[in-house]
Amino acid sequence: MITRLILLFSLLMTPAVAAARGGVVSASDPRAAAAGRAMLRSGGSAADAAMAMMLALTVVEPQSSGIGGGGFLVHHDGKTGTVATIDGRETAPAAARPDRFLGANGKPMPFLQAVVGGRSVGVPGNIRLAARAHQRWGKLPWKRLFDPAIRLAERGFTVTPRLAGSLRMVSANWADFPETRAIYWKNGAAKPVGATVRNPALAATLRRIASGGPDAFYAGPIAKAIVTAVTQAPRNPTPLTLADLAGYRAKDRDAVCSAYRGYRLCGMGPPSSGATTIFQMLGMLERFDLKGMGPNDPRSWHLIAEAMQLAYADRDKFLGDSDFVAVPVAGLLDRAYLAERSKLIAIDRTLPRYDAGTPPGAPARTAAISGEVAGTTNFTAADGAGNVVTMTSTVEGPFGSQIVAAGMVLNNELTDFTFAPERNGAPVANRVEPGKRPLSSMAPTILYAPDGKPLLAVGSAGGKQIIMHVFRALVGVIDFGLPAAQAIALPNIYFGGGAVLVEKDTPLAAMAPELTRLGHIVTVAALTSKLTAVQRTPAGWQGAADPRSEGVALAE
C-alpha cells in the first residue's frame, strides 16, 4: 500500500513554483521574496536580492531571523565559476568565560533559564555579512537594499499564522519586556492573525544603517542601544561592551566541498556543522542503491536513519569554531574513513549504538551536546548572469533572547554553546570562550551537476534538524530524481530520545512497522521544516518553497 505514496505525497505537498529565464528568488515569507524580486527587477545581483530578503525578514519574521542575529552565506559566481562563503555567525563577548552557563552548583543551568535575557546574546553578525557580500558581489547602491524593509516597518505588515503561533508560544512571558510587548501586543495580548504590526524604531534603525553603512550598526546610537539592552536586561543582565560590537568582523571562509555520485556539493565549514555532517552521510550511503530502492522503500529511510546517527555522533564530538579548536574537516570527509563508517551500516538491521569514530587528524576530545533549538530561516536567489546565493539567517529560538533593542529582536545564539565546558575530564570543542562563535547546524548548500554548473541551491530552518532537512532534499534530487519542489516536500526524519522520529501524517509514518522490524524504535512526531531552493532546469531557473511554510518563490 505504501508503494508510490511518498511520491504522491510530495506531489500533493508541492507548492507552486516560479520559473524564469532570468532570475528567481525563494523565501519563507512572501513579502521577503517580493523584496528580493524587486532587487532583481532593478538590475541587482543575486547577492543584492538575498540581502534585501534578509533585511525584509528582520521586519516580517522577527521570531526567526534578522539583523539582531547572524548567518552563513554561500555564493556561486556565474562569471568565474567559483564558490565562496561568508561567516556572519555571532560571537561571544570578551567577558564570556567557559562557566557562563553553569549555575551556582557548578552544573549546567536549565536551558530556559539561560536563554531569556542578556546572558544568551551574542554580537550580531548579519550587517557585517551583508556589507561584505555587497562589497564583493553587489550591483545596486547599498541604500537601495533597505527600501522594502523600511517600507514594511513604517507602513506595517500583517501578522501571519506562523508569526501568530510564535507569539502565542512565548509572549505570555514578556511581562519584563515592555519594548517587545509594545510592538507585538495589542489590548494586553499578542497580536492575532491579520493584525497590523508597525515598527517605527526598526525603520529608523534601518534608515541609519542604509545611510551610514555597517559602521552605523556597530558604533553610535544603535550599538549603544544594544549594549544597554543586554547589560540592563530585566533577566540575566550580562556584560557586553561597545568594543565587542566595534571589533566584530564577518569572515570569508573556504567552502567545504565534497563529491557524491558524480555531483559536487559545497557548503559552510566550521563553525557550521552543516556541510561536514551532510557530506558524511552522503559518503556513508554512496555504496547503497538508493535510486533503485527509491523513496517508497522503508530500507531507504532505514539507511538514512543509520547514517544520520553515525554522522551526528561525529558532529557532537569534533565540531566547533575552527578559530579556537582543531576541527578535522578533511579527516571527517576522508573517503577511506567514510568507507569504514559505512561498513557499520547493514541494510537489514540497526546498530546497537552509534558512537563517534576516529577520523584522521582527530584530536583527543569528548562528545557533548549543544542546545540549538528549532528556529531560523533560509532564502535563495539566482540572477540572469548565473550568480547563485543561499543564505541561512537566525536569531535562534522564537524571538531569540526576547530582548528588543532599537526595534530589532536580539539573538540568543550563545545558548548554542555546550553549557558544560568539560566532560569526562576532557575539554568540549563547543565550550564558551571570548570571541568564539558557537557551533551551528545551519547548512546553506550549493549542488553542482556533473557538467560542473550549479544545479541547486538549498537551505532550511529547524535548529539541529536543519542538517536532515537539507540532506533529504539533496537525496531527493540526486538519488530519487525529483525536482526541487518535490524533494523539499519529502517527509522529515530525525532522531531523539533513543528513537527515530518520523513526520506524522506522511507515508513515512505509515512505514513505522517496517522500520520497527528492522530494529528501530520509531516515534511519529510533528516534525516541520522551512526549506527554500532554486534549481537550474532546461526552462531556466526555478524556485520552490517548503509547503509546510508560508514561503513562496517568485520569478524576476
For 473-514, how does the pLDDT look when each residue is reduced to its tens digit (9 = 90+)?
999 999 999 999 999 999 999 999 999 999 999 999 999 999
Asked if the structure places residue 82 within a domain, the reply is yes
Q: Which of 376, 392, 415, 532 is catalytic?
A: 376
Helix (H) / strand (E) element for 229: namely helix 221-231
Active-site annotation holds for 366: no
For residue 364, what pLDDT is reported?
74
pLDDT at 146: 99
Q: What average pLDDT does range 413-432 have in this prediction?
A: 91
Kindly provide the b/e burial profile for residues 247-286, where b requires at least 16 CB atoms within 10 angstroms of the residue's own CB: ebebbebebbbbebeebbbbbbbbbbbbbbbbbbbbbbbb
Residue 222 lies in a domain: yes
Calculate mean pLDDT across residues 302-316.
Answer: 97
C-alpha cell of residue 547: 509547503
pLDDT band per the 50, 70, 90 thresholds, residue 427: confident
Is residue 227 domain-resident? yes
Q: Is the model's pLDDT at 347 over the cut of 80?
A: yes
Question: Tell me: the pLDDT tens digits for 55-78?
Answer: 999 999 999 999 999 999 999 999
CA distance 185 to 198: 11
Peptide bond before residue 271 is cis, with ω within 30 degrees of 0: yes
Q: Is residue 422 assigned to a domain?
A: yes
Q: What is the pLDDT of residue 59?
A: 98
For residue 20, pLDDT beyond 70: no
Tally of helices (H runs) and strands (E runs) in the chain? 21, 25
Q: What is the pLDDT, as a whole number, of residue 368? A: 57
Indicate left, alpha or beta for 236 from its phi (over 0: left) and psi (-120 to 50: alpha).
left
Q: Is the pTM of this model over 0.75?
A: yes
Indicate if the pLDDT at residue 367 is higher than 70.
no
Quote the pLDDT of residue 425. 81
C-alpha cell at 324: 579556537
**pLDDT value, residue 426:** 81
- The answer to whether residue 473 is domain-embedded is no
Residue at grid coordinates 546553506: 444
Position 116 pLDDT exceeds 70: yes
* CA–CA separation, 411 and 375 (whole Å): 11
CA–CA distance, 116 with 401 (Å, rounded to integer):
5
Reply yes or no on whether the pLDDT at 10 is more than 80.
no
What is the four-CA torsion angle of 301, 486, 274, 416, rounded to 10 degrees? -90
* 159 within domain boundaries: yes
Whether 162 is covered by a domain: the verdict is yes
Please state the rounded mean pLDDT for residues 384-401.
Answer: 96
Range of the domain at 406: 35-252+374-427
Helix (H) or strand (E) holding 485: helix 484-487
In this prediction, residue 343 has a pLDDT band, given cuts at 50, 70 and 90, of very high
In a domain, 539, yes or no: no
Q: How many domains does the chain have?
A: 1
The dihedral built from the CA positions of residue 207, 208, 213 and 214, taken in this order, carries a sign that is: negative
User: Where does 309-468 show beta strands of DSSP type E?
Assistant: 377-382, 388-394, 404-405, 408-409, 422-423, 426-427, 445-448, 454-459
Asked whether the beta carbons of 400 and 68 are under 8 A apart, the reply is: yes
Tell me the torsion sign for CA atoms 440, 131, 232, 241: positive
Q: Return d(Cα 376, Cα 73) in angstroms, integer.
A: 14
Q: What are the CA-CA distances from residue 53 to residues 45, 50, 211 (Å)?
A: 12, 5, 18
pLDDT in tens, 167-211: 999 988 899 999 999 999 999 999 999 999 999 999 999 999 999
Q: What is the mean pLDDT of residues 458-487?
A: 97
- What mean pLDDT comes out for the span 251-280? 98
Q: Residue 365 — very low, low, confident or very high, per pLDDT cuts 50/70/90?
A: low
